[in-house]
Amino acid sequence: MTTTKAELTETLRTGESSGVEFKRDDVLADSFAKEVAALLNVRGGRILLGVEDDGAVTGLAKDPKAAEEWVMNVCRQNVQPAVIPFWEVLEWEPSKCATT
């Protein structure tokens, strides 16, 4: 499931919803875990990491591999039962954001 630039543009334009959440990459682990659990309790969804609440892409401050490791650890340690999310790094000039 690869996200196209057009799909990302549309997601950013339409904003957050019951299935889409925007998070800065400095989000706290417990807050991130709550969002993951909330999405899992409905029909799933996406969290775009490196995106402000208004849809502005600020990008990842962390290296994408370090961000992926952090997300996987949070989903394994802070979400019960543990989950393994889909991880994708999206190029957005001049930044990178990630979707889980």
Radius of gyration of the chain measured on its C-alpha atoms: 12
Is the pLDDT score of 100 beyond 90?
Answer: no
Looking at per-residue pLDDT, the higher value among 5 and 79 belongs to 79
Give the tens place of pLDDT for each residue, 36-47.
999 999 888 999
In this prediction the pTM is: 0.87
Contact 49, 67 (CB under 8 A): yes
Q: What is the pLDDT of residue 12?
A: 93
Residue 37 to residues 45, 57, 59, 92, 95: CA-CA distances in angstroms? 10, 24, 23, 27, 27
Residue-range definition of the domain harbouring residue 68: 5-99
CATH number at residue 81: 3.30.950.30
List, in sequence order, every residue forming a beta bridge with 46; answer none if it has no partner: 20
pLDDT digits (tens, 9 = 90+) for 50-98: 999 999 999 898 899 999 999 999 999 999 999 999 999 988 776 666 6
Q: What is the number of domains present in the chain?
A: 1
